[in-house]
Structure 1
Amino acid sequence: MAEIKILGAGPVKRGVTQIAAQFEQGTGHRVNVEFTGAPTVRERVLAGEAVDVAVVPQSAMEEFVAQGRVSADTRVTLGRSRMGLALRKGAAAPDLTTVAAFKQAVAAADAVVVNVASSGNYVVKLLEKQGFSADKAVKQPDTVKVMDHVASSAQNLLGAGQLPEIRELVDKGVAIALAGPLPDELQSITAYDAAVTTASANAAAAAEFAAYLELPAARAAMAATGID
């Protein structure tokens, strides 16, 4: 039996981890799941690190395909994630159902905390388009640190992140609450893909896992985490 190393980024972590456990039970293969920031995953895969499966936003996967870092015929789409805002637990949740309400909520906040990945960059540009100054956004390295900052600060902060990541952190007991998704007109939908890397030392087993990701049970596990 093989040991498969998965290197990924984004809000699909929870679903991929659950699916990996199911795959282990069904096949006897061992699966090592590591998730970190998307920029770090990009650097490591492009550098040729010996991981077996990469899990990244579709934009990054396109680059991996173009650079010959993944086997294109093993590529599968895991699903899509939407953006939302969180606030400190116990704080009054703002209305985010319309663009006008979103702007009012942001104006009332001391800052909007974002990560340094693509989702955070999207929110920074969104705020600028809505007329807010650049210093309205405060950056943290990743979504966990974003939400920790929101939870621990005495300021009136909003934390931006992918909805599945926010829900997972709420479930883990981080002192935040989901304010809601971004309004449809401002929403960012990110699709995530998985593929076997060309540096894989366990390509056959890794391809088994990639195929497993498309089975109904795997799709259901992903949907349960907020990935559609």
Structure 2
Amino acid sequence: MVTPAPQPVSLFSTIAVKKALAEGLCDAFTQTTGIAVEAVYEPTNALLDRIAAGARPDVVIGVTHQLPALGQAGIVDLSTCTPVARVRVGIATAGDVDVDITTVESLITTLTAARSVAYSRAGASGLYFAGLLERLGIAGQVNARATVIDTGFTAAAVIDGRADIAVQLMSEHRCVAGAKIIGPLPDEVQQITEFSAVLGEAAAARREPQAFIEFLTSKQAREAYNLTGMEAADTTPTYHHDRESKVHSK
């Protein structure tokens, strides 16, 4: 009896995990298993819009806190929801530009002294940063000359000279060639976002998507996350109703 060829896995993934997946993990999975991965990389909110319009990927990787609604709608199987990585908000510059963000006070000085700060109002980190500016009392001063990015990577704005400083998730800064990553925001004003992978309801019984979810928690995958600006997460497959204490959603 001829064994049927493996079916490809359709993947919707947040861009925060793109570097680890697109520059190694997906190819490694295919080489090991013979299963192709057909990936779409966009911010979680954009992926949710695609799903709302009818798309049904086999696997979704998104902000953990935003996945339960898909389960409640019968689109994904929440029992398979598996944390894969966590990432912090950070600062990037370009060239020889160097700044101090070691304390909240030095962060405020850096942000208010910059010619322009780039961030994304539509992105998860940008929404958090906009609120942080308000809490720090410098929103008016920074926003008066901010470079607001609609989509994509904010560090591109420091590479082409539109801004001096870029704010985004640390893993997203890693996707921009030439960006100089200064580091994460100080712990006192930091937000950590957790990303999880979950199987689509229709794909939950198929071996290929199941194998891919398992691979995303492998030693090789954890090493890739750590090398691309993220932290490997607790990989216990579980659905948490409340992640509001230390880990926040974006």
Q: 1:88 maps to what in 2?
A: 94
Aligned partner of 2:224: which letter? A
Q: Which has the higher helix share?
A: 1
Q: 1:141 maps to what in 2?
A: 150
| Alignment check: 8 A CA contact 2:147 2:162 kept | no
Show the 5 A alignment for 1:80-159: 80-91=86-97, 93-115=98-120, 116-134=122-140, 135-136=143-144, 137-144=146-153, 146-153=154-161, 157-159=164-166
TM-score using structure 1 length: 0.88
Deviation, structure 1 residue 199: 4.7
Q: In the alignment, which of 205, 224, 228 is matched to residue 225 of structure 1?
A: 228
Task: Count the aligned residue pairs.
Answer: 221
Q: 2:80 maps to what in 1?
A: 74
CA distance in 1, matches of 2:65, 2:107: 27
Aligned partner of 1:212: which letter? F
CA distance in 2, matches of 1:226, 1:180: 10
Q: Does 1:164 align with 2:167?
A: no
Q: Deviations over 1:74-113 (max 9, x none)?
A: 211111001111123222x111000000000011013321
Q: Does 1:39 align with 2:42?
A: no
Q: Deviations over 1:103-143 (max 9, x none)?
A: 00011013321121111100011011111134244321234
Instruction: Say which SS state the counterpart of residue 79 (structure 2) adopts.
Output: helix
| Alignment check: 8 A CA contact 2:90 2:183 kept | yes
Change over 3 Å in CA distance of 1:64–1:201 after alignment to 2: closer
Q: 1:216 maps to what in 2?
A: 219
CA distance in 2, matches of 1:193, 1:201: 15
| Alignment check: 8 A CA contact 1:143 1:161 kept | no
| Alignment check: 8 A CA contact 1:114 1:159 kept | yes
| Alignment check: 8 A CA contact 1:3 1:29 kept | yes
Deviation, structure 1 residue 179: 2.3
| Alignment check: 8 A CA contact 1:75 1:210 kept | no
Aligned partner of 1:142: which letter? T
Aligned partner of 2:83: which letter? T
CA distance in 1, matches of 2:216, 2:223: 10
Instruction: Say which SS state the counterpart of residue 74 (structure 1) adopts.
Output: strand
Change over 3 Å in CA distance of 1:81–1:41 after alignment to 2: same
CA distance in 2, matches of 1:73, 1:16: 23
Instruction: Say which SS state the counterpart of residue 95 (structure 1) adopts.
Output: coil
Q: Which moved more, 1:118-127 or 1:25-34?
A: 25-34
User: Structure 1: which 5+ runs fail to align?
Assistant: none
User: Structure 2: which 5+ runs fail to align?
Assistant: 1-5, 232-250
User: What percent of counterpart residues are identical?
Assistant: 25
CA distance in 1, matches of 2:155, 2:228: 18
